[in-house]
Amino acid sequence: MKAQAPSAYPAWLLPSGFEDTLPERAEMLETCRRGLLDLYAGWGYRQVIPPLVEHLESLLTGSAADLDLQTWKLVDQASGRLVGLRSDMTPQMARIDAQISADGETRRLCYAGTVLRARPDHLGGSRAPFQVGAELFGVAGPEADLEVLSLMVESLLHCRVGDLLLDLGHVGIAHALADAAGFHQDLRAELLRLLERKAWPDIRLWLDSKGCGTELMDDFGILLRAHGGLEVLERTQGQLGHHGAVRAALDQLLFIWTQLQQRYPQLQLQCDLAEVHGHQYHTGLLFSAYGPQQGAALASGGRYDGIGLAFGVSRPATGFSLDLKPILPSVREGGGTRTIWAPGGQAVDLWQAIAALRQQGQRVIQDFSAELAATDPYLVEEGYGSVLEKSGGNWHVRPLTGPDITIEEDAE
């Protein structure tokens, strides 16, 4: 029998963009996930768990079609239909909302789970982000956007991310200028793609080729330069406020800006009115949060009204999502459960002492190879904070860096 040639790739090698989450980080991720879901529950957001796989037309329906290039596709052997692995949970939230909500009903949903991307969002990024987010359906006003934005900020603060910078934009401004030019749908989409690249020379040539007048070209020039602080919003309101839809969008941004300053004085704010990423998906306010020395956004979201139309219900909707993995290093590592070393043995009183500690929420690891603890420095190096020892007929927990303490329920 001919021997098989060794594979060029080791059996343990994972595909590019995928990684194992090892115990320490897995514990941090799970702790943060639980904390975020508890946070959302306190705001009235109820968790749902959508399936990893759906029919492709459901995942890519309507304005979610721009997710096509990010979606893994395969054939369902049971039905022969094409299915996709979710690359974003927001379309699934829209489907669920359309199924369970009545017209005019307000619905708050949240979620946490892995999504799969055909390609990473940025160089060196994961193709299996752990996505956490919240969506608010049925409320069209800026108050809903403010609630979702505030919850996104609270999420990052909960995960101990400091020095946050929040970038605000509004897709409605670019749409209003395109409406003023009278462009039909195909031309509008072409223009928005150019705006997404922020290529002003190309935009100017394109507008000139479509016969746009000087006034409209100047308006687009103002839009491309509209990025910075609060003064940019106020100045642009004077420059482009003659477009009613632009004025309404700027009023919303000013409302959001003022409220966020009052709620989070430490939060840095900036705006970029020419930002139209996801223009096929979003319909209004856009926002992204950045941390110190972070090139990619830590969390982002915005308004996406009408996404449920393909499911038979066109509803106002706004929400945000974040990938939990990149922000884990910012999560507080100390102050959690400290590991207690316990000796080996099967004595009933030892078992009862260990069980009592575990019921108190302590983490106890029994060392089956030893009945006496090693030296304190060695145990500290191994990650232990305390030792379970027996003295005077009772079991006691002795901190490795302090005096003995007795557990709450000593076992006789």
**Beta partners for residue 344, in sequence order:** none
Residue 219: is its pLDDT beyond 60? yes
Q: What is the DSSP string of 209-233?
A: HTT--HHHHHHHHHHHT-EESHHHH
pLDDT digits (tens, 9 = 90+) for 132-173: 999 999 999 999 999 999 999 999 999 999 899 999 999 999
Q: What is the CA radius of gyration of the chain?
A: 27
**Rounded distance between C-alpha atoms, residue 150 and residue 256, angstroms:** 10
Confidence (pTM): 0.85
Residue 408: is its pLDDT beyond 80? no
pLDDT at 333: 47
Identify which of 398, 384, 391, 269 has the alpha carbon closest to the alpha carbon of residue 337: 384
Residue 229: is its pLDDT beyond 80? yes
Identify which of 308, 274, 67, 65 has the alpha carbon closest to the alpha carbon of residue 175: 274
Residue 6 pLDDT grade (very low, low, confident, very high; cuts 50, 70, 90):
low
* 317 phi, psi to nearest 5 deg: -155, 140
pLDDT digits (tens, 9 = 90+) for 178-189: 888 888 878 888
pLDDT digits (tens, 9 = 90+) for 115-124: 999 988 877 7
Tokens of 240: 């482009």
Q: What is the DSSP string of 187-207?
A: HHHHHHHHHHHT-HHHHHHHH
Identify which of 168, 169, 165 has the alpha carbon closest to the alpha carbon of residue 293: 165
Residues 238-254: what's their mean pLDDT? 94
Q: Name the one residue in this structure whose structure tokens are 């030019």.
A: 181
pLDDT at 410: 46
pLDDT at 64: 63
Amino acid letter, residue 58: S
Residue 334 pLDDT grade (very low, low, confident, very high; cuts 50, 70, 90):
very low
Q: Name the one residue in this structure whose structure tokens are 């793609």.
A: 193
**Rounded distance between C-alpha atoms, residue 137 and residue 97, angstroms:** 7
Q: Looking at per-residue confidence, does 37 or 7 come out higher? A: 37
Q: For the chain, how far is it from start to end, CA to CA, in angstroms? A: 66
- Mean pLDDT (the chain) is 88
Identify which of 227, 223, 256, 254 has the alpha carbon closest to the alpha carbon of residue 239: 223
